Structure 1
Amino acid sequence: MSLASSTPSSASLLRLPSDAALRRRHANPKKGPAFVRCKSTSTDKPKTRTLVDNASNLLTNLLSGGSLGSMPIAEGAVSDLFDRPLFFSLYDWFLEHGSVYKLAFGPKAFVVVSDPIVARHILRENAFSYDKGVLADILEPIMGKGLIPADLETWKERRRVIAPGFHSLYLEAMVKIFTDCSERSISKLEQLLEREGSHGGNAVDLDLEAEFSSLALDIIGLGVFNYDFGSVTKESPVIKAVYGTLFEAEHRSTFYIPYWKLPFVKWIVPRQRKFQNDLKVINDCLDGLIRNAKESRQETDVEKLQERDYANLKDASLLRFLVDMRGADVDGSQLRDDLMTMLIAGHETTAAVLTWAVFLLAQNPSKMRKAQSEIATVLGQGRPTFELIKKLVYIRLIVVEALRLYPQPPLLIRRTLKSDILPGGYKGHKDGYAIPKGTDVFISVYNLHRSPYFWDSPNEFEPERFLVEKKNEEVEGWGGFDPSRSPGALYPNEIVSDFAFLPFGGGPRKCVGDQFALMESTIALAMLLQKFDVELKGSPESVELVTGATIHTKNGLWCKLRKR
């Protein structure tokens, strides 16, 4: 459930080769050992700039060229926006210009950060000097004053109310919902296989990304607002409206001109008319759920709410917690914004991490077998429980490694509320970089997670890497990777990596639902591999990648499933 951010990026496509075919060696003796670099993100020859590209760069230099002082400048190619997702270009420019650089695109300049020291400064040490900027502009019509687009004061108030809801007893109770919903998905797949077997087949072809999407929607519905979408087995107007809204959120995050803000557009443009209708269907549904919850309200203190017998509670949803919390009275509109935010953010992240985890495992049979061996030892043919999740060490590592290689979202977006001085970062300017008020900043999580300066073999799928302490004393100001730094944590986080690993952001505005999303993904993946062998239907190169709020596929993740 990523409530950290979303990202505007190109809606264009990129053919995603397999983990082996994807890369070529890029040796740079001045910057440490040889670095495995994504072939599809760069070429040996510089990209030919178009007339529009050159005009864009000239305009940027005229309007904002001197505003960021001595910071390295990467001149952007507008045509890149139509060739491939933006974050791939940001990665190339990171290798060329360093961990902090100014990106020149048309009349606007952005600061791109690919360094944990600088990310820590922005997200934790100086967090309240930044807001969500352009991200809030994009998402406010959809999420209102929900946690992601909320202004600083609204966010502080809502965070104080919502964060306590994700307490340990609630998460333990959610394990049953995660398991029940996963069993429903497994049962559907088993029925498809039985049907195929009656026709002489022993495998079934299906789009696992679509299955994960339905599963994630059902879990969010039950866990957050006690509503069973039942999307694994049926379709309803509410489900259609949810997906319509998700697609519109994706559209807005990939479209650089906010045409939907123009007068009368929501009535003139067909897709915007549909979006308004979809939004009304969902809001009516949420309003009804909020109204029912308020009618059965049992007001009490936070401490008593957190001590409820959640395992035997008929309605253990987060909505029930928020409505029953004493002193947290809030109008239905704000609650609806909160629920809408968690619906969209939580659904997207989980479906994506499961998709890429399977994609990576399918290309690494030995790791698939290791995962299934752990599942057989820990679960046998039984159901996961909260205690058993703690023993699924390798499955948990697979989930976080999938998030490292395919972060959701690949960019975090901030805007300065006042002037600031960013640290120089690794090999950056020793005096740092002064940035004025109103500067838009992209923290490239993708670059951080695949940085050759902070990770060994950064493009390799190696779940075991999170078990090993890593010190890098030549990087002044970075604490290295130390699993013991966050004792008791089930999953690696920004603390153990000192902000080199940011799957859910970091600092005060970190996602409040990170443990919910990670546990949900762990259970769903374990239960799939417990019952089925999975292989890609086509080659890894046939899987096309597209990005918006998350990194996902263009046409689904088509796999062959066989009963184990």
Structure 2
Amino acid sequence: MAGISVSLSPLNLDIRYFSCSSSSSFSSSPLPLSLHLPKRSSSSSSSSSIVRCQAVEGDKRGAKRNVFDNASNLLTNFLSGGNLGSMPIAEGAVSDLVGKPLFFSLYNWFLQHGSVYKLAFGPKAFVVVSDPMVVRHILRENAFSYDKGVLADILEPIMGKGLIPADLDTWKQRRRVIAPGFHNSYLEAMVKTFTTCSERTISKFDKLLEAKGYGGQNSIELDLEAEFSSLALDVIGLSVFNYDFGSVTKESPVIKAVYGTLFEAEHRSTFYIPYWKLPFASCIVPRQRKFQRDLKIINDCLDELIRNAKESRQETDVEKLQQRDYLNLKDASLLRFLVDMRGVDVDDRQLRDDLMTMLIAGHETTAAVLTWAVFLLAQNPDKMKKAQAEVDSVLGSDRPTYESLKKLQYIRLIVVESLRLYPQPPLLIRRSLKPDVLPGGYKGDKDGYPIPAGTDVFLSVYNLHRSPYFWDNPHDFEPERFLVERKNEEIEGWAGFDPSRSPGALYPNEIISDFALLPFGGGPRKCVGDQFALMESTVALAMLLQKFDVGLRGTPESVELVTGATIHTKNGLWCNLRTRSDLQ
């Protein structure tokens, strides 16, 4: 459920339309690239060269700018240049970033221009924020002075008034209804669902290995990103709708429609011109006709599930709903909770929007987290062995339970470290509803930066998570980093990293890190399903490592990044799986 507050990073003009700043550009080598950054320490993990992006020499940048680039930036400065005062400016050039993710360039500009800067592009200017103190100001201290802006425009045809694109009034109403559904008894019962769905995936791998074994082979090649995607879809179906997609082992029109809708959501989040809003586009454009068919299949399925749930409605108070015996309840889904809640007579359309939002957002993020966790572990066999040793000690041959999950500390830290290095999504989008003054942030203007109403702001989670000012060895895969308190004596206004600030928390969060770590947003509009997603990822990863050793089929450099709703691979994460007993 990780994506309920997760913006699908629209205006990832990255893929086609942005480029580097006036002093640097990116090479054309395959992603992931490596990045040259100021280092706080000389130590480095074996994955450090893989999880960095590399900038080339800046003096080549000016020669590359063409007439169109210059016209684009001139237009920006003419139309919006004076609105943001003395804020540092990073000028975008259209010609340099074809096919490269925006967040790489935003990072490069962050190192050059600081924590808050204006990105000038064509007729529009955006404010890019890469500082925890400024993010805290926007997400928590002034949360209701900002809305989702362009994000809502892009996602409304897909998610309606679900939590992500909802206007402020609708969001407040639905948040009060949905948030109680993720109570402890529900999460405890969902661990059983996570385990059941993960067992399907493990069983599938076992059967493939068994078939290979007849030919004398004891390993198989699989696209684990695709397998994790199927696993996450099954989990969402059972836990949210009480519907078994069974996508690990079969295909159906509904499953195909779900993936078609996911692809369209990603397409819209990365395409600059919203051509789908043109009159008759849904009838004329083949892609949009298919999208409408897919949407109808899913909506018909959700409508039937909602109708069935309402026919067996057992209305009661929230407190009694939370006290149900969810471990033995036949239908423990979130839909059942929402339908049975007394005093909430929501129409079917709003329920469907809620469910669609959870389906798309919750599925995408969990699959991505597991993909990058395996990618990182495969490059760090010592950390994989350490994780497996913890799984052996805590679980043995048993399956995870709610209580044993609490003891899988290192697995949990791996999940969060994967989210730090590959945040899902790498950007959050906000728009100011009224004039505001943003804090200057670290090394910024002490008087801050005034912004007018209507300013579009990119909160770069990627920059936050890899900031050399707030993290030691920011590009290295070090799950152990979260075990160490970091007292801050250098940066005014930042409280440092202190686990004691969030007692009882199973996973590091924005409170512990004072907004330097933002895996699920922060403030009032933080993801309501963060614990659900983290537990789901922990169970799935533990069960995979319990049974298998995993290695990349090719080199890490061959795993190319693309972005849309999440950071994912271009051609899948192809891995070699071997049962651990074969190597012992």
Alignment TM class, shorter chain as reference = over 0.9
Which string of whole-angstrom CA distances, capped at 9 and with x for unpartnered residues, describes residues 360-398 of structure 1? 000000000000000000000101000000100000000
Which string of whole-angstrom CA distances, capped at 9 and with x for unpartnered residues, describes residues 265-302 of structure 1? 01000000000000000000000000000000000000
Q: Distance in 1 between matches of 2:268 and 2:96?
A: 18
Deviation at 1:34, TM superposition (A): 7.2
Q: Distance in 1 between matches of 2:187 and 2:536?
A: 10
Equivalent residue for 1:370, pick from 386, 394, 408: 386
- Are 2:570 and 1:550 aligned? no
Deviation at 1:200, TM superposition (A): 1.4
2:208 aligned residue? 192
1:339 aligned residue? 355
Matched to 2:454, the amino acid is G
Distance of aligned partners of 1:547 and 1:80 in 2 relative to their CA distance in 1, 3 Å threshold? farther
Structure 2 unmatched runs, 5+? 17-27
3-state SS, counterpart of residue 118 of structure 1:
helix
Deviation at 1:80, TM superposition (A): 4.1
- Are 2:53 and 1:40 aligned? yes
2:117 aligned residue? 101
Q: Is the 8 A contact 1:112 1:444 kept in 2?
A: yes
Matches within 5 A, 1:359-508: 359-508=375-524
Q: Is the 8 A contact 2:224 2:575 kept in 1?
A: yes
3-state SS, counterpart of residue 83 of structure 2:
coil
3-state SS, counterpart of residue 434 of structure 1:
strand
Distance of aligned partners of 1:437 and 1:168 in 2 relative to their CA distance in 1, 3 Å threshold? same
Matches within 5 A, 1:508-519: 508-519=524-535
Equivalent residue for 1:204, pick from 192, 213, 220: 220
1:318 aligned residue? 334
Deviation at 1:81, TM superposition (A): 4.3
Distance of aligned partners of 1:157 and 1:115 in 2 relative to their CA distance in 1, 3 Å threshold? same
Q: Distance in 2 between matches of 1:223 and 1:189?
A: 23
Matched to 1:44, the amino acid is E
1:176 aligned residue? 192
Q: Is the 8 A contact 2:159 2:353 kept in 1?
A: yes
Q: Distance in 1 between matches of 2:566 and 2:37?
A: 27
Q: Distance in 2 between matches of 1:33 and 1:525?
A: 30
2:31 aligned residue? 16
Deviation at 1:431, TM superposition (A): 0.5
1:55 aligned residue? 71
Distance of aligned partners of 1:24 and 1:228 in 2 relative to their CA distance in 1, 3 Å threshold? closer
Q: Is the 8 A contact 1:26 1:34 kept in 2?
A: no
Q: Distance in 1 between matches of 2:507 and 2:424?
A: 16
Deviation at 1:135, TM superposition (A): 0.5
1:66 aligned residue? 82
2:319 aligned residue? 303
Structure 1 unmatched runs, 5+? none
Q: Is the 8 A contact 1:204 1:562 kept in 2?
A: yes
Equivalent residue for 1:6, pick from 8, 11, 22: 8
1:247 aligned residue? 263
Q: Distance in 1 between matches of 2:485 and 2:96?
A: 38
Which string of whole-angstrom CA distances, capped at 9 and with x for unpartnered residues, describes residues 11-69 of structure 1? 3697334xxxx5465448xxx66798976341123432232211111110111111000
Q: Distance in 2 between matches of 1:410 and 1:231?
A: 27
Q: Distance in 2 between matches of 1:535 and 1:39?
A: 20
Q: Distance in 2 between matches of 1:335 and 1:213?
A: 24
Q: Distance in 1 between matches of 2:300 and 2:109?
A: 46
Which string of whole-angstrom CA distances, capped at 9 and with x for unpartnered residues, describes residues 403-433 of structure 1? 0000000000000010100000001000000
Distance of aligned partners of 1:119 and 1:408 in 2 relative to their CA distance in 1, 3 Å threshold? same
Q: Distance in 2 between matches of 1:504 and 1:135?
A: 17
Deviation at 1:473, TM superposition (A): 1.5
Distance of aligned partners of 1:39 and 1:341 in 2 relative to their CA distance in 1, 3 Å threshold? closer
Q: Distance in 2 between matches of 1:374 and 1:495?
A: 27
Distance of aligned partners of 1:54 and 1:207 in 2 relative to their CA distance in 1, 3 Å threshold? same
Deviation at 1:98, TM superposition (A): 0.1
Matched to 2:86, the amino acid is S
Q: Distance in 2 between matches of 1:544 and 1:441?
A: 28
Equivalent residue for 2:150, pick from 134, 141, 147: 134
Distance of aligned partners of 1:380 and 1:291 in 2 relative to their CA distance in 1, 3 Å threshold? same
Q: Distance in 2 between matches of 1:185 and 1:126?
A: 44
Which string of whole-angstrom CA distances, capped at 9 and with x for unpartnered residues, describes residues 64-110 of structure 1? 11100010000012234423001110000000000000000100000
Q: Is the 8 A contact 2:442 2:491 kept in 1?
A: yes
3-state SS, counterpart of residue 549 of structure 1:
coil
Q: Distance in 2 between matches of 1:80 and 1:229?
A: 42
Q: Distance in 2 between matches of 1:210 and 1:226?
A: 23
Matched to 1:11, the amino acid is I
Matched to 2:31, the amino acid is L
Q: Is the 8 A contact 1:103 1:110 kept in 2?
A: yes
Q: Distance in 1 between matches of 2:29 and 2:180?
A: 40
1:527 aligned residue? 543
Which string of whole-angstrom CA distances, capped at 9 and with x for unpartnered residues, describes residues 319-349 of structure 1? 0000000011100000000000000000000
Q: Is the 8 A contact 2:8 2:266 kept in 1?
A: no
- Are 2:238 and 1:222 aligned? yes
Q: Is the 8 A contact 1:27 1:34 kept in 2?
A: no
Q: Is the 8 A contact 1:80 1:86 kept in 2?
A: no
Q: Is the 8 A contact 2:38 2:468 kept in 1?
A: no
Deviates more, 1:5-14 or 1:220-229: 5-14
Deviation at 1:314, TM superposition (A): 0.2
Q: Distance in 2 between matches of 1:308 and 1:110?
A: 48
Deviation at 1:350, TM superposition (A): 0.3
Matched to 1:166, the amino acid is F
Distance of aligned partners of 1:525 and 1:308 in 2 relative to their CA distance in 1, 3 Å threshold? same
Q: Distance in 2 between matches of 1:58 and 1:190?
A: 60
Q: How many pairs are equivalent?
A: 557
1:113 aligned residue? 129
Q: Distance in 2 between matches of 1:519 and 1:27?
A: 34
Q: Is the 8 A contact 2:34 2:54 kept in 1?
A: no
TM-score (norm 1): 0.97
3-state SS, counterpart of residue 313 of structure 1:
coil
Matched to 1:335, the amino acid is L
TM-score (norm 2): 0.94
Distance of aligned partners of 1:11 and 1:95 in 2 relative to their CA distance in 1, 3 Å threshold? same
Q: Distance in 2 between matches of 1:204 and 1:179?
A: 23
Q: Is the 8 A contact 1:133 1:414 kept in 2?
A: yes
Q: Distance in 1 between matches of 2:424 and 2:218?
A: 34
Q: Distance in 1 between matches of 2:269 and 2:513?
A: 29
